Amino acid sequence: MYICAKIFKIMLEHIRLHRGLDIPMKGSAELRIEKTIVPDVIAVKPTDFKGLTPKLMVREGDTVKAGSVIFTDKYRPEIAFSSPCSGTVESIVRGEKRKLLQIRIKADRTIDYISFGTKDIFKASKEELAKTLLESGLWAAIIQRPYGIIANPADQPKAIFISGFNSAPLAPDTNFTLKDEIDNLQAGIDVLNKFTKGGVYLGLNSKDYAASPLYKLNHVKTYAFDGPHPAGNVGIQIHHISPIGKGDIVWTVDPVYVAAIGKLFTKGIYDVSKLVAVTGSRASKNAYIKCLPGMSMKDIADFAGPAEIEIYGQPSAIRYISGDVLSGDNVGPDGYLGFYHNQITLISEGTHCELLGWAKLCRPKKFSFSRSYCSWLTPGKKYDEDTNLNGGHRAFVVTGLYEKVLPMDIYPVYLLKAILAEDIDKMEQLGIYEVVEEDLALCEFVCPSKIDVQNIVSKGINIMIKEMA
């Protein structure tokens, strides 16, 4: 009877997604750690944090430790952002209208940590745990839905969601990166459970959930998701487990930072070091590195292939992406790894033109979702993708392609048009509370009109935040 009950439970927790798309790209990372990066300079970027107005707390020349507060949120000063390393503040970079872009820290060779003290998680109150998370800077790892902004410590979410796998193109293997973090993950889960009465939900890949270190965790409600990308997006998982309506608040945390939260309370330090996958067809070595967020792309110069290659007889440089190709940031060879990114992608810049490319029926080197080319005849083939749009911007074309890659019960084209019209009532009715930019990234990829879908979603979120303030 017990075995039958367990089987029935697993069946109830299995969710199959039929819509989506796995983009077959070359350059996935091998399951090995190539090196540990000891950075010369770390950059902490306020621009990594949505909806933030930073207030600087350090000056050039100041000495900091790992866990030292370097800026806060101007309108929520209790939310602090800390240095991931020890060292000296080398420079403060500002943009137009003195917008704070980066705080660059000359890093010590050995990290010196601030001690926040260890705590008995089960005896500590929610307020005590929140105080430590806020003081250390790790509260920034907790993201609120709707809107994808840093959570408000005064709120009580209806539930907390963690996606235990990443389905984006060339995404890192969470089973590999977190295999030695079981104890820290469990401690992090126990901390998060203190903040909600609805419990902590964990989404795993149905193909290998039994091998995942996260499958061993206790005090979580586990679901197995089967299907193509974006099955690994936490927003998609929330939609199928407990959809967000008007007035609802849920929190999400990346599993890497769940482990960091665990280390904060068991070791008393702000340790955000992580394994990052170096991926893409322009990488000479596709492997994992151990590093800190804010690491310079110059530190992986030996992972990059030739600076320029020829595509159709024209030179093509490398695009350095912090994150994945769908929703990552183009940071350039002098840029820095984002706080929330666990992947670096190196691909070719699409600056080349193909003579009469639009007229060619068979283009064996190109992947097409709409079967415009012959890629559908070779389903196992991997492609050397670049950033070329293969077309120009035009008005919305009603094709039904968006709906084929978005496994959510919303109408994406109508939602985007409501955002462009700034019709708040329609935005609410059409699902603005359920989405952030990454959830509709595939719509942008398959769009024949080359619409900047993610920028439109971002505009819609900003409208809602301003309206609800």
**CATH code, domain with 213:** 3.40.50
Q: What pLDDT does residue 360 have? A: 67
User: For the chain, how far is it from start to end, CA to CA, in angstroms?
Assistant: 53
Contacts made by residues 372-377, CB under 8 angstroms, sequence distance 24+: none
Average pLDDT over residues 49-67: 97
Q: How many CB atoms lie within 10 A of CB 421?
A: 10
Q: Which of 271, 273, 268, 270 is nearest to 124 (CA)?
A: 268
The two three-digit tokens of residue 59, written as one number: 């000056």
Question: 64: domain CATH number?
Answer: 2.40.50.100
Tell me if 383 sits within 8 A of 24, measured CB to CB.
yes
- For the chain, how many structural domains are there in total? 2
* The domain boundary residue, chosen from 107, 134, 155: 107
Q: What are phi and psi of 457, to 5 degrees?
A: -60, -45
Does any domain span residue 1? no
**Which of 191-205, 292-306, 365-379 bottoms out in mean pLDDT, i.e. has the lowest?**
365-379
| CA gap 374, 363 in Å, rounded | 7
b/e map of 348-375 (b: 16 or more CB within 10 Å)? bbeebebeeeeeeeeeeebbeeeebbeb
Are 71 and 192 found together in one domain? no
Q: What pLDDT does residue 379 have? A: 81
Split at pLDDT 50, 70, 90, the class of 11 is very low
The two three-digit tokens of residue 104, written as one number: 């660059």
Are 127 and 260 found together in one domain? yes
Q: How many CB atoms lie within 10 A of CB 143?
A: 22
Average pLDDT over residues 67-76: 97
Does any domain span residue 60? yes
Q: How many CB atoms lie within 10 A of CB 259?
A: 26
Average pLDDT over residues 259-285: 97
Does any domain span residue 32? no
- pLDDT at residue 8 tops 70: no
List pLDDT tens digits, range 143-196: 999 999 999 999 999 999 999 999 999 999 999 999 999 999 999 999 999 999
Tell me if 438 sits within 8 A of 233, measured CB to CB.
yes
- pLDDT at residue 349 tops 80: yes
**Which of 169-173, 271-275, 386-390 bottoms out in mean pLDDT, i.e. has the lowest?**
386-390
Q: Which of 282, 275, 358 is nearest to 317 (CA)?
A: 282
List pLDDT tens digits, range 112-134: 999 999 999 999 999 999 999 99
List pLDDT tens digits, range 30-56: 999 999 999 999 999 999 999 999 999
Q: What pLDDT does residue 13 have? A: 84
Q: Is the peptide bond preceding residue 379 cis, with omega within 30 degrees of 0?
A: no
The two three-digit tokens of residue 246, written as one number: 């008007």
Are 146 and 256 found together in one domain? yes
pTM above 0.75, yes or no: yes
Does any domain span residue 169? yes
Split at pLDDT 50, 70, 90, the class of 359 is low
> How many angstroms separate the Cα of 320 from the Cα of each of 31, 309, 328, 335, 344?
21, 15, 10, 8, 7
* Residue in the block written with tokens 């190196």: 346
Beta bridge partners of 62: none
| CA gap 220, 217 in Å, rounded | 7
**How far is Cα of residue 317 from the mean position of the Cα atoms in its chain?**
25
Are 206 and 148 found together in one domain? yes
Count the alpha carbons within 13 Å of 7 in the hemisphere toward its beta carbon. Answer: 4
Does any domain span residue 289? no
Does any domain span residue 419? no
Q: Which of 289, 290, 267, 269 is nearest to 278 (CA)?
A: 289
Q: Is the peptide bond preceding residue 24 cis, with omega within 30 degrees of 0?
A: no
Are 150 and 95 found together in one domain? no
List pLDDT tens digits, range 86-112: 999 999 999 999 999 999 999 999 999
Are 155 and 196 found together in one domain? yes
Does any domain span residue 59? yes
Spatial CB neighbours of 54, under 8 Å, sequence gap ≥ 6: 46, 71, 72, 73, 74, 81, 100
* Residue in the block written with tokens 């330090």: 269
Are 48 and 122 found together in one domain? no
**Which of 10-24, 38-52, 231-245, 443-457 bottoms out in mean pLDDT, i.e. has the lowest?**
10-24
- The whole domain housing 83 covers 39-107
Q: What pLDDT does residue 113 have? A: 98
What percent of the chain stands above pLDDT 90?
A: 84
Q: What pLDDT does residue 264 have? A: 98
> How many angstroms separate the Cα of 464 from the Cα of each of 73, 241, 298?
19, 24, 38
- pLDDT at residue 6 tops 60: no
- pLDDT at residue 7 tops 70: no
Q: What is the CA radius of gyration of the chain?
A: 22
Beta bridge partners of 56: 71
Tell me if 274 sits within 8 A of 342, measured CB to CB.
yes
Q: What pLDDT does residue 366 have? A: 83
Computed over every residue of the chain, the mean pLDDT equals 93
* The domain boundary residue, chosen from 207, 234, 266: 266
Tell me if 352 sits within 8 A of 312, measured CB to CB.
yes
List pLDDT tens digits, range 298-342: 999 999 999 888 877 788 999 999 999 999 999 999 999 999 999
Split at pLDDT 50, 70, 90, the class of 3 is very low
Are 143 and 191 found together in one domain? yes
Q: What pLDDT does residue 9 have? A: 41
Beta bridge partners of 89: 105
Q: Which of 230, 192, 231 is nearest to 209 (CA)?
A: 231
Tell me if 274 sits within 8 A of 177, measured CB to CB.
yes
Are 101 and 121 found together in one domain? no
> How many angstroms separate the Cα of 4 from the Cα of each of 8, 10, 311?
6, 10, 58
Are 245 and 124 found together in one domain? yes
Q: What pLDDT does residue 405 have? A: 97
* The domain boundary residue, chosen from 87, 107, 127: 107
| CA gap 215, 208 in Å, rounded | 10
Does any domain span residue 7? no
Q: What three-state secondary structure class fits 436? A: coil
- pLDDT at residue 2 tops 80: no
Are 169 and 240 found together in one domain? yes
Are 146 and 103 found together in one domain? no
Count the alpha carbons within 13 Å of 177 in the hemisphere toward its beta carbon. Answer: 28
